[in-house]
A = this chain, B = another copy of it.
Amino acid sequence: MSLLPTLTQARASLTREVQVVNEKGEQSIMQIPAERDLTVYVDKRELVTLMTLGAQPELLVLGFLLNQRLVDSASQIESITIDWEVNSAAVKTHTGIDKIEERTVKKVVTTGCGQGSVFGGLMDEIENIKLPAAQLTQTQLYGITEAIRQQESTYKSAGSVHGCALFKGTQMLMFVEDVGRHNAIDTLAGWMAMQGISTLQQPDPSEPYVFYTTGRLTSEMVIKSAQMGIAIVVSRSGITQMGYDIAQQLGLCAIGRAVNKHFVGYTGLTRLQLQA
């Protein structure tokens, strides 16, 4: 059994109250979401600065390293230490990251809210991805949108953040918000790694892992879902052409505009069982 990294439990306020004025000239107090810079150092070498809400910074950093394929598994990391005094994340690996300079040199500036940058090579991986068997019924889909509707959130109190959730069937396993949807999905990946959840071990395809996001299904979001082995993605928003093309190529089920009992099925619809 491989050891998991030691994580700090750094917490910071997710919202702040500010005084605003409206169109009638009325002053009031409104909450706005936090946004903070977090500079990631890997074995004391500066890697990147992430702009984040700061809800789960350790899991964000872990998921970022995993989703960027800078580490293959959480067990390669000894510890992640967040210090909000200096807005730093110190990552200590067991044996270093091979060729880190080379692998972080290629910059792709994506459409993504909140993360936006992938260090290349993600597109290359697509052809090797084989998604697991997974079937979702329309009733299960409504269970997911209902669970999201009931979820307490920074979005409800302050707006201007994206939410992501991992479901197994209609059970919400994890919910996370960030100023960008890409940070949110990376945080989910970090959480899954810490829980030892492998999407490839799905004994029951009728209780599938489902990735929910409030954000658009751009190429990056679809690729990340596929990398995480999640065959069904549900969004409150729409899809872009590249997100659509990649989902179709992978046979990934992409569902958009999912609010209450409305939705639009885009791709991979053999995985969605309609119940008229």
- Residues in A lying within 8 Å of B, measured CB to CB: 16, 18, 20-25, 30, 32-37, 46-52, 104, 106-117, 120, 138, 158-160, 179-180, 182-183, 216, 218-220, 237-244, 261-266, 269, 274, 276
Contact = CB atoms under 8 A, between A and B. Distances in A.
Copies of this chain, count? 2
A46 B109 CA distance: 13
A51 B111 contact: yes
Contact of A109 (B49, B159, B239): B49
A4 B234 CA distance: 46
A153 B25 CA distance: 32
B109 A25 contact: no
A163 to B, nearest CB: 14
A51 to B, nearest CB: 5
The A interface, classified by DSSP as helix, strand, loop or mixed, is: mixed
Nearest to A158: B238
Contacts of A219: 35, 51
Contacts of A20: 264-266
A238 B155 CA distance: 11
B265 A48 contact: no
Contact of A21 (B242, B261, B269): B269
